[in-house]
């Protein structure tokens, strides 16, 4: 394939990474039902039901589902609602009214939860009247079993290949960027992508320039000049999205990772660690959840004078603008204020937050837990959104 997208590109060029398309859903569903590991999970949910009867009922319930969005509306929307109802004290959203409800946007957000960041967004977009949910970028490191890969592709996910050589990484990045431009401009789908690779463990949310560079690789312009870069970014219709969660269920696991990385040379997360983060992130208590979408950045991009900006600076300038839009739209909770107050030397007046901290630290499983260090790490996770909010509003 060429390094830039053109009108000759078709859906089949992306068969290795794209979500399932209309006409492919039934075969995908049947393959998932036939998977032994997935069947074992279903057996655990309804152990009293014979396998044949269970699968027949599931196939009947699947009748009429032709597209991944059909699947989301019929099943995933209700599961997400149940998760919000069970695991949060309430939720809210505000999507800028300038956004066209039938438009195609790249929602670029801070990253809090492996699974739910995009799932909550889908639910809120549907409730707010958007015509399309989002296609999501998901790392192949999380696709531990074949049935998981099938399920996420049924749920509008496209695959980010990780753990490649530098040459393979470049080739993969071009391919993925081409697909994202194709999804926005030819499929007219929305996309969700995190502003950085992986979650910001300390909640100091910053857009990685490398993510923006990846987005330009498959755009319509050659990408050799500042004007080309700006045009390729415009082609993605980026909307900065702020995710605010009162309590992060995985905060103690993130703090645990900090100590493990500090104390164990070369320590890396295992597949089981990823599964634990996914499970606890989904079903853990979250407090209040709020999503805030800023205007599309295209009008702001039009104000940039490409002739006055060095090519080496343009990604930094765009990243800083996205950060500003994300930071100023945080929903600030008492946990954020209490954490920053303690780090600044003041005694917290939030007894519930103190009780919460002690409970979370007690769950950390490492040899010789460094309690002051672990406490500081968790406090920093809650303080950084307020620090960035204050800095953004000071501008």
Contact assessment for residue 135 and residue 192, using Cβ atoms and an 8 Å cutoff: yes
Residue 367, both tokens: 């040899």
In a domain, 267, yes or no: no
Q: Are residues 101 and 120 in the same domain?
A: yes
Q: How many domains are there within the chain?
A: 3
Residue 355 and residue 395 in one domain: yes
CB 295 within 8 A of CB 250: no
Is residue 379 included in any domain, yes or no?
A: yes
Same-domain check for residues 166 and 257: no
* Sign of torsion over alpha carbons 34, 36, 41, 45: positive
Asked whether residue 177 falls in the same domain as residue 306, the answer is: yes
CATH number of residue 136's parent domain: 3.40.1130
The pLDDT assigned to 7 comes to 54
Task: Name the phi and psi angles at 293, rounded to 5.
Answer: -105, 125
Does residue 270 sit within a domain? no
Q: Are residues 40 and 119 in the same domain?
A: no
Q: What is the pLDDT along the chain (395 residues), one digit of tens a residue?
A: 334 445 578 999 999 999 999 989 999 999 999 999 999 988 888 888 898 999 899 889 899 999 999 999 998 999 999 999 999 999 999 999 999 999 999 999 999 998 899 999 999 999 999 999 999 988 888 888 899 999 999 999 999 888 889 999 999 999 999 999 999 999 999 999 999 988 889 999 999 999 999 999 999 988 889 999 999 999 999 999 999 999 999 999 999 999 999 999 999 888 788 888 889 999 999 999 999 999 999 999 999 999 999 999 999 999 999 999 999 999 999 999 999 999 999 877 788 999 999 999 999 999 999 999 999 999 999 999 999 999 999 98
For 357, the 3-state DSSP assignment is helix
Whether 276 is covered by a domain: the verdict is no
Length of the chain: 395
Residues 385 and 289 in one domain: no
User: Domain check: are 313 and 226 in the same one?
Assistant: yes
The predicted pLDDT at position 347 comes to: 78
pLDDT value at position 193?
Answer: 95
Q: How far apart (Å, rounded) are the C-alpha atoms in residues 123 and 274?
A: 24
* Domain that includes residue 131, residue range: 1-16+68-248+284-331
Instruction: With respect to residue 279, please indicate whether it lies within any of the assigned structural domains.
Output: no
Domain boundary, last residue among 276, 307, 331: 331
Of 213, 196, 218, 214, the residue nearest 205 (C-alpha): 196
Question: Would you say residue 273 lies in a domain?
Answer: no
Q: Which residue, among 176, 170, 172, has the nearest Cα to 193 in the 3D structure? A: 176
Asked if residue 269 belongs to a domain, the reply is: no
What does 46-87 look like in DSSP terms, one character per residue? STTS-HHHHHHHHHHHHTT--SHHHHIIIIIHHHHHHHHHHH
Q: 151 and 83 in one domain? A: yes
- Domain for residue 277, yes or no? no
The verdict on 35 and 157 lying in the same domain is no
Residues 159 and 189 in one domain: yes
Residues 10 and 75 in one domain: yes
* Phi and psi torsions of 278, nearest 5°: -65, -45
Cα 133 from Cα 121, distance rounded (Å): 8
Assess whether 42 and 83 both reside in one domain. Answer: no
């Amino acid at each position: 394939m060429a390094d830039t997208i053109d009108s000759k590109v078709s859906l089949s060029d992306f068969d290795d990474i794209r979500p399932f398309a209309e006409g492919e859903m039934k075969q995908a569903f049947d393959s998932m039902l036939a998977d032994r590991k997935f069947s074992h999970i279903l057996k655990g949910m309804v152990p009293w039901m014979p396998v044949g009867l269970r699968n027949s009922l599931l196939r009947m319930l699947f009748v009429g589902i032709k597209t991944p969005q059909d699947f989301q509306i019929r099943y995933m929307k209700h599961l997400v609602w149940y998760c919000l109802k069970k695991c949060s004290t309430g939720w809210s959203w505000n999507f800028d009214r300038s956004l066209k409800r039938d438009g195609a946007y790249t929602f670029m957000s801070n990253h809090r939860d492996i699974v739910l960041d995009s799932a909550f967004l889908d639910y809120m977009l549907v409730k707010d009247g958007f015509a399309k949910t989002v296609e999501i970028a998901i790392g192949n490191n999380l696709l531990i079993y074949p049935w998981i890969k099938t399920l996420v592709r049924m749920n509008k996910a496209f695959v980010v290949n990780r753990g490649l050589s530098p040459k393979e990484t470049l080739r993969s990045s071009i391919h993925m960027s081409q697909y994202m431009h194709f999804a926005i401009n030819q499929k007219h789908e929305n996309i969700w992508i995190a502003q950085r690779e992986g979650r910001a463990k300390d909640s100091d949310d910053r857009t990685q320039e490398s993510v923006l560079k990846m987005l330009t690789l498959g755009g319509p312009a050659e990408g050799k000049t500042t004007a080309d870069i700006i045009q390729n970014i415009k082609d993605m219709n980026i909307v900065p999205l702020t995710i605010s969660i009162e309590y992060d269920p995985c905060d103690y696991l993130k703090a645990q990772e900090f100590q493990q990385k500090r104390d164990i040379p070369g320590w890396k997360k295992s597949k089981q660690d990823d599964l634990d983060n996914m499970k606890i992130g989904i079903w853990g208590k979250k407090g209040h959840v709020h999503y805030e979408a800023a205007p599309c950045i295209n009008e702001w991009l039009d104000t940039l004078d490409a002739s006055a900006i060095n090519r080496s600076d343009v990604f930094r300038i765009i990243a800083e603008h996205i950060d500003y839009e994300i930071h100023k739209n945080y929903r600030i909770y008492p946990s954020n204020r209490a954490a920053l107050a303690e780090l600044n030397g003041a005694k917290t007046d939030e007894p519930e937050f103190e009780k919460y901290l002690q409970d979370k630290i007690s769950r950390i499983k490492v040899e010789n837990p460094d309690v002051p260090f672990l406490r500081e790490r968790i406090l920093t996770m809650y303080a950084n959104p307020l620090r960035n909010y204050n800095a953004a509003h000071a501008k």
